[in-house]
Amino acid sequence: MGWLYGYYSEDPNFPDGVRVNVEAIYEPPQLGELKGVQPLEDPYRPTVDLVAGALSLERVGYIFTSLNQEKTFLTGDQVKTIAAAQQEHLVDHPVGPKVSKFITVRVEQQEGDQIGVECWMASDAC
């Protein structure tokens, strides 16, 4: 798993739309497990955020790899992780409520040597 760093910009394809532009991935200390990953304490996170800020970048998402899940969208644990990450990165919306623009990207091997990349966000109700 890793943290995505980038910036937000206006999406010209949708009224009031927001586009996420990813410029870097930071892989924090972690312990790989059979059904996921366990993040470890990261003594470098404050420094990484400081360097990113100096480059006008911010943490915009989360990325992880996954085994081919036979066309399964996401597991319950993955949805919980996505929702928790979004809750940690809420911003004020111009009309009042707090919202998240934080994305999650899943990368997995598909048929043959093909690689699938999917972007996700949990609903506010989640």
Does residue 59 or residue 76 have the better pLDDT?
59
Structure confidence at residue 72 (pLDDT): 65
Arithmetic mean of pLDDT, 90-95: 75
Dihedral sign of CA atoms 78, 81, 84, 86 in order: negative
Render pLDDT for 16-60 as a digit per residue (tens, 0 to 9): 778 899 999 999 999 988 777 888 999 999 999 999 999 999 999
Arithmetic mean of pLDDT, 112-118: 84
Q: Are strands 58-66 and 103-109 parallel, antiparallel or unpaired?
A: parallel
- Domain ranges in the chain are 2-120
Arithmetic mean of pLDDT, 2-13: 92
